[in-house]
């Protein structure tokens, strides 16, 4: 009888130990160590720029230390996957447009201690920053998206994703994708049956013709053979007026031809709004 009681007590002790073990903590990543450099649009380093809780040195460099938190192992086991990682660290400097370092990873919170992210270079935009639009476009390659009525054009310069590392420029690319890719974005900007429209534009100088390549892709059909992509190659021209307007001739793509206000411009992005 005593032996049975002893085994029963031992069972509950072991059960309690197991429960406590499951309630023990597991380390999760709140923020990796982030390093980078802040410069202006002329590539001059910006000192004493606030990034999260730190400031940049005289060379514009900063380092945000890694941050972690403890989570209960039992609750993490019920989830059955690592938590997401969402980092948003403000970037602030007097005389410049406020920005933020943005990092997102669906299961990034499960990274081990010592996680590091190198942001490299962040370009901080001055308040009332000006641009020479002709110089910005000359001898460069861009991707173009447009609205259903072709009254607004979104232009993204090749290399945008390498340049855009912050919260300020990310929304523009989201709008661009919604105009060009129904399959990826779930938007309905494209004509019925079309899933993707890619338009590459090569700007030379204003005296030389620009080159346009448009590829339209279509969704699969179960009632017959898949429709192959349509490809249009054409030449056109452009002229920048007073750095505020543009006359755009898109050759065979007639709906894009017209006069536009340059309503938004940055190093790797531009928004044009058609005038009446």
Task: Please report, for the chain, the start and end positions of each structural domain, with discontinuous segments joined by +.
Answer: 24-123, 133-274
Q: What is the pLDDT of residue 176?
A: 96
Tell me the mean pLDDT in the region 212-221: 90
Q: What is the mean pLDDT of the chain?
A: 87
Cβ–Cβ < 8 Å for 250, 268: no
Binning pLDDT at 50, 70 and 90, where does residue 130 land?
Answer: very high
Would you state the structure tokens that stand for residue 83, as one six-digit string? 């938590």
Q: Is 70 exceeded by the pLDDT of residue 11? A: no
Residue 86, φ and ψ in degrees, nearest 5: -130, 110
Q: 243-264, pLDDT tens digit by residue?
A: 999 999 999 999 999 999 999 9
Cβ–Cβ < 8 Å for 189, 176: no
Cβ–Cβ < 8 Å for 99, 41: no
Q: 68-127, pLDDT tens digit by residue?
A: 988 765 554 544 567 889 999 999 999 999 999 998 888 788 888 999 999 989 999 999
Domain 24-123 has CATH 1.10.8: no
């Amino acid at each position: 009888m005593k032996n049975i009681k002893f085994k029963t007590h031992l069972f509950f002790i072991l059960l309690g130990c197991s429960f406590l073990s499951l309630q023990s903590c597991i380390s999760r990543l709140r923020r990796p160590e982030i390093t980078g450099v802040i410069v202006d649009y002329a590539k001059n380093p910006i000192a004493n720029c606030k990034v999260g809780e730190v400031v940049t040195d005289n060379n514009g460099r900063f380092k945000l230390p890694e941050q972690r938190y403890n989570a209960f192992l039992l609750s993490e086991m019920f989830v059955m996957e690592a938590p997401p990682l969402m980092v948003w660290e403000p970037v602030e400097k007097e005389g410049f447009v406020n920005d933020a370092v943005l990092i997102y990873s669906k299961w990034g919170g499960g990274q081990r201690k010592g996680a590091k992210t190198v942001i490299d270079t962040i370009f901080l935009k001055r308040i009332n920053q000006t641009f020479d639009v002709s110089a910005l476009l000359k001898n460069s390659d861009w991707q173009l998206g447009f609205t259903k009525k072709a009254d607004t054009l979104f232009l993204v310069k090749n290399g945008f994703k390498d340049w855009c590392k912050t919260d300020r420029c990310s929304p523009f690319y989201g709008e661009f994708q919604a105009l060009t890719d129904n399959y990826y974005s779930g938007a309905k900007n494209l004509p019925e049956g079309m899933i993707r429209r890619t338009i590459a534009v090569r700007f030379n100088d204003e005296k030389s013709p620009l080159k346009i390549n448009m590829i339209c892709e279509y969704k699969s059909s179960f009632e017959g053979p898949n429709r192959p992509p349509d490809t249009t190659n054409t030449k056109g021209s452009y002229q920048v007026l007073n750095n505020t307007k543009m006359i755009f001739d898109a050759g065979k793509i007639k709906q894009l031809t017209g006069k536009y206000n340059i309503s938004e411009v940055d190093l790797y992005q531009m928004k044009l709004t058609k005038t009446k």
